[in-house]
Structure 1
Amino acid sequence: MAETFRRFAERECGGSSPLYEALALTTADDAELRSIAGAAPAGQPVPNLFFAAVHYLLLAGPSDRLAEFYPTLTATPRPPDEAFPSFRAFCLDRRPAIERLLRTGRVQTNEVGRCAYLYPAFALVAEWSRRPLVIIELGASAGLNLMWEQYRYEYEGDASCGPSDATVVIRNAFRGDRRPRLPERAPAVVGRVGVDLVPIDVRDEDQTSWLRALVWPEHRERAALLASALALAQRTPPRVVRGDALACLPDLLREARRDAAVCVTHTHTLNQMTEGRRAALTAVLSESSRDLPLYRLSAEWLTGIHPLVELTSWAGANVTTRRLAFSDPHGRWIEWLGDRTAARPFE
């Protein structure tokens, strides 16, 4: 547990969240706080869940002294390296509430910024397949990323695409020399559905407050983007099925239109699956690819320095996986790896 918090501080928080970096390093050395964090279910990213539970309680009642360190709760936060005594006191005082949230909550951040790499990837699938798209998202949370083609994208110094009148605008930057094709008009989507063990109801204030608590305190742009996407989703909530992804996926694939290219997508989800379940997911997709044009678009951070975006396509016994991009965990930048006009996978 101690090493988990240290790794979280060094690998994920450095240069991104000074508050969580400081708190993770000090929590790693505190047996009582590690004991509280131990209430998290197996398979969940413990530091993310622990800090989200504390953030959730602070957002609901920001009068505690700890709120003075959170940029989400004050315009002039105190230095992060002074936060631990207040953090520790808050956690010990609110231990039952924190442990209850750890047992019932899930790290299911609906990171809308990740749509910045989904857009060019889905455009590539549409180009390859010459078909409209059906999107099936695993670990969909509130389903906000299912609405990707309704957002506007502004890539720093490069291009813009998506509806010019969109109420949700995603700003991103490219690294490196390569660029994907960014069609001004998004591919046609003729079906979309998500699946999640604990879906977020976008019209439930308590559930959306949990989503807000999952956003790190310094990340004001992420919080604003989440708020605008939630406002859009509340008009016509996306369909998200409650259930286990492996159990639900075969039926969802059978529902998909046969004249469409079916894209099964997941972002930062496999880290919550065992090796056996990951293999079972691949087997389900391989079996289903015999009956329909199937693509798998994933963005996962299982190894390496940065998350990796990959696209897998099937044609009979032929399977091709392409590395499309590296990305920031929250989608704030993309390093495109593929060619601008990639060849179709089996030509």
Structure 2
Amino acid sequence: MSGTGTATSVRYRRFAEVDARGYSPQYDEWCTGVSDDDELLALLDTLPPARRQPVLFLGAVRFVGAPLGGYGAFRAFVVEHWQDIRHVMETRTTQTNEAGRCAVLLPSLAAISAREGRPLALIEVGASAGACLYPDRYAYAYSPGPSLEPEGGSPVPPLACSVAGDVPLPAALPPVAWRAGIDLNPLDARDDDDVRWLEALVWPEHTFRAERLRAALGVVRADPPLLVRGDLNEQVVPLVHRAPSDAVVVVFHSAVLAYLDADGRRRFRDTMLRLVSDRGRPVHWLSHEGYGTLDGVPGAMEKVPGEEDGRFVLQHNGRSVARTGPHGQSIEWL
């Protein structure tokens, strides 16, 4: 009996065709193969559905040591090392820490700081090791558009981002007064295993992203942020209250809400809409997620048939403002 109609098969084929195709030929080949492979699908189906994610599986396989190459060798490695791979999938989570996403957040961050006339107090939900909490420490190369860099330069190669539409690109980097993050399992930029896990989550052809990750983690190590362990729905309000009163709070997240169940997303949505409507202090909310993650928020973009092109939607206080590349490689203003 073929497993090609199972939910796991459909999930891996969709990942190959929508997320990896044209972006990672290696992951396209591997996930297409998995989608037709009854034995590997059966192994994956021994895990809870939330633990069968393609990105988690691929990261675990590479963390355990799978060499890059054709599907046959990949398949043999997975079968031989399944118990080790399974252990990683049960104990780790996808925590891609892509500093490049700062390039699509920066226009909104700079506009918020300028509008409020205050420095930023950043709170990242799903912060991983915290590399996205340093938008003021990176250099940027927008095309077409300006090149920006902090005073004294940056150890991180410029974050390249292609631009379409009337993006409000800033002339300077916004000041950041305070930075904090929330994660169920914060990663430590000083821990070799945590760094190796983050590197395993970088897609194989993206050597520039691996180099950028290492450099960004150097920035984190030099000036560690406040990272709080816990559930985002329990920790976000207390962190907002801890932020300095002379700064404007921006709560942001990228590729996080898809890992919450529907009730968790609704609870977070309601909390954030309440925070941004509170006139007691300025709080802004930037969401950088896949289509439809914020269904039910007035002004948020819902999934549209035929538009599943792998891009994300950037929303400010629940209103869609841009479509973006998931790793910050492009921004199209709406």
1:210 match: 197
1:299 to 2:304 alignment: no
Deviations 1:284-340 (A, max 9, x none): 22333423211100111033432011111xxxxxxxx43222111111121123xxx
TM-score, scaled to structure 2 = 0.87
Contact kept, 8 Å, 1:43 with 1:273, in 2: the verdict is: no
**Which of 159, 173, 193 is the aligned partner of 1:171?**
159
1:29 to 2:16 alignment: no
**Which of 245, 266, 269 is the aligned partner of 1:279?**
266
1:327 to 2:324 alignment: yes
Contact kept, 8 Å, 2:161 with 2:328, in 1: the verdict is: no
Tell me the distance in 1 between the aligned counterparts of 2:212 and 2:261. Answer: 31
1:341 match: none
**Which of 311, 318, 331 is the aligned partner of 2:316?**
311
Shift of 1:227: 1.0
Deviations 1:185-210 (A, max 9, x none): x2221211000001110000011100
Which amino acid letter does the alignment assign opposite residue 162 of structure 1? E
Tell me the distance in 2 between the aligned counterparts of 1:172 and 1:284. Answer: 33
Deviations 1:206-257 (A, max 9, x none): 1110000000111111111101101221222222111111111121111122
* Alpha-carbon RMSD: 1.7
User: Within 5 A, what are the aligned runs for 1:73-222?
Assistant: 83-164=70-151, 165-184=153-172, 186-222=173-209
2:14 match: 7
Contact kept, 8 Å, 2:126 with 2:182, in 1: the verdict is: yes
Contact kept, 8 Å, 2:67 with 2:74, in 1: the verdict is: no
Contact kept, 8 Å, 1:117 with 1:334, in 2: the verdict is: yes
1:252 match: 239
Shift of 1:39: 5.1
Tell me the distance in 2 between the aligned counterparts of 1:44 and 1:156. Answer: 38
Contact kept, 8 Å, 1:41 with 1:102, in 2: the verdict is: no
2:230 match: 243
- Overall identity of the aligned pairs, in %: 35
Contact kept, 8 Å, 1:268 with 1:300, in 2: the verdict is: yes
Tell me the distance in 1 between the aligned counterparts of 2:321 and 2:237. Answer: 26
1:336 match: 333
Tell me the distance in 1 between the aligned counterparts of 2:51 and 2:113. Answer: 34
Which amino acid letter does the alignment assign opposite residue 31 of structure 1? D
Q: 1:173 to 1:191 in 2, by over 3 A?
A: closer
1:315 match: none
Which amino acid letter does the alignment assign opposite residue 139 of structure 2? R
Contact kept, 8 Å, 2:180 with 2:225, in 1: the verdict is: yes
Contact kept, 8 Å, 1:49 with 1:106, in 2: the verdict is: yes
1:52 match: 59
After the TM superposition, which segments of 4 or more aligned residues of structure 1 sit over 6 Å from their partners? none
Which amino acid letter does the alignment assign opposite residue 292 of structure 1? R
Aligned residues: 308
Shift of 1:85: 1.3
Which amino acid letter does the alignment assign opposite residue 14 of structure 1? R
1:75 match: none
Contact kept, 8 Å, 1:152 with 1:161, in 2: the verdict is: yes
Which amino acid letter does the alignment assign opposite residue 12 of structure 1? D
Contact kept, 8 Å, 1:116 with 1:170, in 2: the verdict is: no
Which amino acid letter does the alignment assign opposite residue 309 of structure 1? L
Tell me the distance in 1 between the aligned counterparts of 2:160 and 2:320. Answer: 19
Shift of 1:260: 2.0
Q: 1:40 to 1:123 in 2, by over 3 A?
A: farther
List runs of 5+ in structure 1 lacking aligned partners: 59-65, 70-82, 313-320, 338-347
Tell me the distance in 2 between the aligned counterparts of 1:45 and 1:263. Answer: 32
List runs of 5+ in structure 2 lacking aligned partners: 1-7, 292-302
Which amino acid letter does the alignment assign opposite residue 329 of structure 2? R
Which amino acid letter does the alignment assign opposite residue 10 of structure 1? E
